[in-house]
Chain A
Amino acid sequence: MTTSVSGGLAIEGLHKVLGGRSIIHSLDMAVRPGELVSLLGPSGCGKTTTLRMIAGFLTPDAGSIKVGGREVVNLGPEHRPSAMVFQNYALWPHMTVAKNVGFPLKLRKRPKAEIAERVDAALTLVNLMHHKDSRPARISGGEQQRTALARALVQEPELLLLDEPLSNLDAKLRVKVREDIREIQQRLGITTVIVTHDQEEAMSVSDRIAVMNNGRIEQFSTPADLYSTPATEFVATFIGSLNRLEGRIEDGRVVPGAGVVGIRPEDVVFGPEAHPRGLAATVERVVPRGHFAELHLRREDAELRSYVTGVPPAVGTSGCARIEKWLEFEDGQLVGQGTPA
């Protein structure tokens, strides 16, 4: 399989009304060539609608979609330079794995020898040569997923679209397949858009993530940036875990106020000894989370969750909890970040 330099994706002023309800409100997004971008958001946020408009299954009411600089918004899906991997894989049950993968080339009227060669290359890429002549019903979910991926890649598309590609796989396989997808994507340098509702999945594979809510992009940035500097309260709560408290922080304690304070659990430090910036706290609950534990702490000003590694303190332990870093929101927007003076 040759490395193709694919074009980028540019979406401008995308708008869609479905059933009298505005689903997408003037959405803008630019994906750089070779970049992997996730559309992340809760169900009903418009991420799948957006992907289906990019693929050509839905016609936007307004806006432009450019792939590699070429306007595609008026083209049917069969004429767009994008290839999609469907959530349920959508393999054709009456064709073998090889026929499924070869069908897009057959449609392009490529010579038989070339089809055979490219099908073999695509199946080798996804490590599925041994199931070449199997029918989709006879192979496992993960293998079906890889077949669907091969069918998309064999087209050498300028843009690869994946709709919740991992949601039908079990947890262990999901991690493996998402690493495979990322590895192949980087090797081929193919511009990719993934729709997912799983923030961990988005964080682990994406160059950048567009967090969507109510048909709008709340923030479009790198995973690290989204976590450390969420633009809105929604992004802060959706990405990672957050202590969300009403009020503001003064001298290390939460005091009543108009805004909202967000504190990541790892920024709440609990220890047995008193600390000048801390307040007395009691452990109310301990939730083991594998290599760390989540503590539910009661302080006189608030209830806080905190992550600790190592052996967690027992329920009922008294100690001192301090806040090392926090985010300040007003009307849902980030207005500042705080650290102790």
Chain B
Amino acid sequence: MPRVLSRGVVVLLAAVLALFIIGPLAWLAVRAFAASWTYPDLLPDAWTLRWWSVVFSDRALGVAVQNSLFFAPITVLVSAAICLPAAYAFARFEFPGRRFFLIGVFAANSFPKMGLFVSLAALFYALNLMNTILGILVVHVLGTVVFMTWIPAAAFAAVPRSLEEAARDAGASKLRTFFSVTLPIALPGILVAAIMSFLSSFDEAQGTYLVGAPDYMTMPTQMYSLVLNYPTQVAAVFSILLAIPSVALLLAAHKHIVGGHLAEGFQIK
């Protein structure tokens, strides 16, 4: 009897949690197809695809989607190019100021974002970076530095040195050892960092708005004007579009990182 009871409690808690997480999303999904929806009714009075055509035919919204799909991957690439060598250095070399820089990477995340962006904007005016693609990229990359440095650094550090030594012993140069042994083994950690950076860039709104608006609007910055200027259903449609990359990436990550052979070496199945 207590067994059945405790099982019932678990199921109940799971249901509440599911409602808490899925509830708003379900509401959003229904909202996106609702023609009109009045308060006491559980479901909309009428259904429509009009809001979707509004979004897809609106040039400004289309451009925002394009911009987001441009900035997020470029941010990941730039961030990886800058941060991965640093991550490797943090993991493998002892150099003066190592700890200082490792903590310093957090600087961009340790102040209120708006304060940082305002001072950044002052600097950007001086450097003529306001309303430029480069300026927005700087803002986006800034937000990814912590992920792209700390997670890969931990992944690199977790590669046993003897595996690298075995490669050297087998006849591989230092560079070959990095690309054939170190990088593949650290790859799951780097992929996680890349996904988090992609999502962080995809979601970044405050800094992009300050530096890029109105010339460069991304999906999150466009959300601001959507909420104010369009029917709520359009915002719902746009929210769903904004969520697609996150969900797709997380599913891919689950399949390739947790389910794949790479997890075997890490025993994190």
Contact = CB atoms under 8 A, between A and B. Distances in A.
Do A and B assemble together? yes
Interface of A: 55-57, 76-79, 82-84, 86-88, 90-94, 103-104, 107-108, 135, 137-138, 151, 155
B169 A107 contact: no
Given A56-B168, A83-B169, 8 more contacts: A84-B165, A86-B162, A88-B162, A90-B165, A93-B264, A93-B265, A94-B185, A151-B170
B165 A57 contact: yes
B165 A104 contact: no
A275 B267 CA distance: 66
B261 A107 contact: no
B166 interface: yes
B166 A90 contact: yes
B182 to A, nearest CB: 10
Interface residues of B, number: 22
A104 B170 CA distance: 5
Contact of B176 (A77, A79, A86, A107): A107
B166 A92 contact: yes
Contacts, number: 71
Interface of B: 160, 162-163, 165-173, 176, 180-181, 184-185, 261-262, 264-265, 267
Contacts of B163: 90-93
The 9 closest A-B pairs by CB, nearest first: A93-B265, A90-B166, A104-B170, A90-B162, A107-B171, A77-B168, A137-B264, A94-B184, A78-B171
Nearest to B173: A78
A152 B119 CA distance: 58
A173 B184 CA distance: 32
A197 to B, nearest CB: 18
A84 B169 contact: yes
B264 A55 contact: no
A135 B261 contact: yes
Contacts of B176: 107
B161 to A, nearest CB: 9
